Structure 1
Amino acid sequence: MITGVVITLNESKNIKDCIESLQQVCSEIIIVDSESTDGTVKIAESLGAKVIHQPYLGDGIQKNVGLDYASNDWILSLDADERLTQEAIIAIQALNLETTKHDAFALRRRNYIGSRWIKQCGWYPDFCIRLYNKNKTRFAAVKQHAAVQASNPDRLDADIIHYSFEDIGQLFAKPGRNFSGRAAKIMYEKGKRANSLSPFIHGINAFIRKYFFQKGFLGGVDGMTVALSSGLNSYLKYAKLLEFQRDPKVLEKADFKKVW
């Protein structure tokens, strides 16, 4: 028996398909919602999911909240914009979770922009541990980019689908709106500091890694776009960190208690 756990914030466009995907292999669904103002909660409850209301604590911490409410030992964690493929459903159903020696299982993740599957830039196969035994492991208690800290995981020969961005505009909007600012706050709180060259150096390095070393050049315009976005995100992250250091007025206004 498996419990599906999803964290949400205003995911009314995605939550129905996500829950219906999880219901193919899960006996219960738990939604940990961080104060959605759209129809997310209503939709989730109408589909039989149990909704836990929890102001956002950060990525890994938030994803672990649902474990206390799960009646099953095995947890399947998806983001609201992720779906199981039919192959993933079959692979999970074939597992004997009562006797397995593994504490977790990873699946390949197909990342999309719109309806376009991005196979370069490190976006595929992008193995992610999503099925795990809560008594043996869980997500790292970090505020951003959390991963399950399994000691003996295995890989399933199957994919999950991730509708990462609706279009290119969203790809470029998110680094400025969410990702870079959140990362800069986390770095500042950890005592990390930047110098005047840091934004440029990290931005260029991120672009080169995506476009050349992770073969973004094979992806045509989409490969270039993802590489540029990665470079911009890294540039903004360190530029904002430097701004916290250099501008007392900006630092004073920054709400470090809120990372969402």
Structure 2
Amino acid sequence: MAHVPISVVIPCFNEEDNIGECLESVAWADEILVVDSFSTDRTLEIAGRYTNRIFQREYQSHADQLNWAIPQASHEWVLVVDSDERVPGSLAKEIRGLDLANNKVDGYWIRRSNHLFGKKIRFSGWGRDRVLRLFRRDIGRKEDKRVHAEFQVPKSGCLKGAILHYPIPNIETWVVKINRYTTWKAMDKVEKSSPRALLHLFFRPPIRFFKDSVLRLGILDGWRGILIAAMSAFAEMVMSAKMFEFQQKNKRK
């Protein structure tokens, strides 16, 4: 089986606490590209120890950043890894063992093992997380959404291994992420439809808490599961309030 080189693409911004371990986990790759959104911490210094292919580009959205970065890769196959993720040795071995030169798929879905405050989350809506991250450079592109956009390819397969994901180091970071993502999500929703924001504000937060804690068995994740449900409900409330705010601004134009 012929060796097919793989390029790894990592988007980042102020990730000095994560970028080193992330890059270490993909040191086996034939090429590593880091796409930075003008970090002000030591992110670039640390990244420079692993690769000289570092780009800086103004951030518009995750999809926009990656859709620009992917064509910069030198090799036909690309693996996208976020800075708060790690590629364990077992997954790296599985990827290296693929017959990429002769297969008929354009990309692979990879399970994502989500961890919160030192423990793997098995339920709460986080347990069945899959992401399409390994794909042909000239085919895989992210859909045009500001948040939670997925890569799209015509034909895909699934890998057995999992990416390790450590998205939330502390509550403060969690709240900051919620504030950022709810703004983007509210903008997407208001631009594409006319949601009833006030109804969402009253009903979606409690429904989301019940869904994550009970229907998605979050209670089996203990206090972490209850916290996930509570923060998800909070995010629904903030997003609905922002949707209402954007709608009122649009009416005044």
Match of 2:36 in 1: 33
> Any conservation in 1 of the 2:209–2:233 contact (CA below 8 Å)?
yes
Match of 2:107 in 1: 104
Deviations 1:16-42 (A, max 9, x none): 111121122x11111111111111122
For residues 150 and 34 of structure 1, the distance between their equivalents in structure 2, rounded to whole angstroms, comes to 26
For residues 206 and 40 of structure 1, the distance between their equivalents in structure 2, rounded to whole angstroms, comes to 35
For residues 120 and 161 of structure 2, the distance between their equivalents in structure 1, rounded to whole angstroms, comes to 15
1:172 Cα deviation from its structure 2 partner? 4.0
TM value normalised by structure 2: 0.91
Aligned residues: 249
Secondary structure (helix, strand or coil) at the match of 2:157 reads: strand
Deviations 1:167-222 (A, max 9, x none): 344334432x3121222223233343334222121212222221122111211111
Q: Which amino acid aligns with 1:94?
A: G
For residues 128 and 52 of structure 2, the distance between their equivalents in structure 1, rounded to whole angstroms, comes to 30
CA gap of 1:49–1:213, structure 2 versus 1, over 3 A, is farther
Q: Which amino acid aligns with 1:6?
A: I
**Identity within the alignment, %:** 29
For residues 119 and 176 of structure 2, the distance between their equivalents in structure 1, rounded to whole angstroms, comes to 18
Structure 1, unpaired ranges of 5+: 253-260
1:222 counterpart = 2:216: no
Q: Which amino acid aligns with 1:193?
A: P
TM value normalised by structure 1: 0.89
> Any conservation in 1 of the 2:71–2:137 contact (CA below 8 Å)?
no
Match of 1:141 in 2: 144
Secondary structure (helix, strand or coil) at the match of 1:196 reads: helix
> Any conservation in 2 of the 1:14–1:81 contact (CA below 8 Å)?
yes
Secondary structure (helix, strand or coil) at the match of 2:227 reads: helix
1:7 counterpart = 2:15: no
Deviates more, 1:106-115 or 1:189-198: 189-198
1:199 counterpart = 2:201: yes
Match of 1:161 in 2: 164
CA gap of 1:172–1:151, structure 2 versus 1, over 3 A, is same
**Alpha carbon RMSD of aligned pairs, Å?**
2.0
Q: Which amino acid aligns with 2:155?
A: N
Structure 2, unpaired ranges of 5+: none
Match of 1:64 in 2: 67
Q: Which amino acid aligns with 1:84?
A: V
Q: Which amino acid aligns with 1:196?
A: L
Deviations 1:143-162 (A, max 9, x none): 21111112221111111101
> Match for 2:88 among 79, 85, 95?
85
Secondary structure (helix, strand or coil) at the match of 1:224 reads: helix
> Any conservation in 1 of the 2:33–2:51 contact (CA below 8 Å)?
no
1:113 Cα deviation from its structure 2 partner? 1.4
Secondary structure (helix, strand or coil) at the match of 1:197 reads: helix
Secondary structure (helix, strand or coil) at the match of 1:234 reads: helix
> Any conservation in 2 of the 1:132–1:138 contact (CA below 8 Å)?
no
Q: Which amino acid aligns with 2:17?
A: K
> Any conservation in 2 of the 1:7–1:62 contact (CA below 8 Å)?
yes
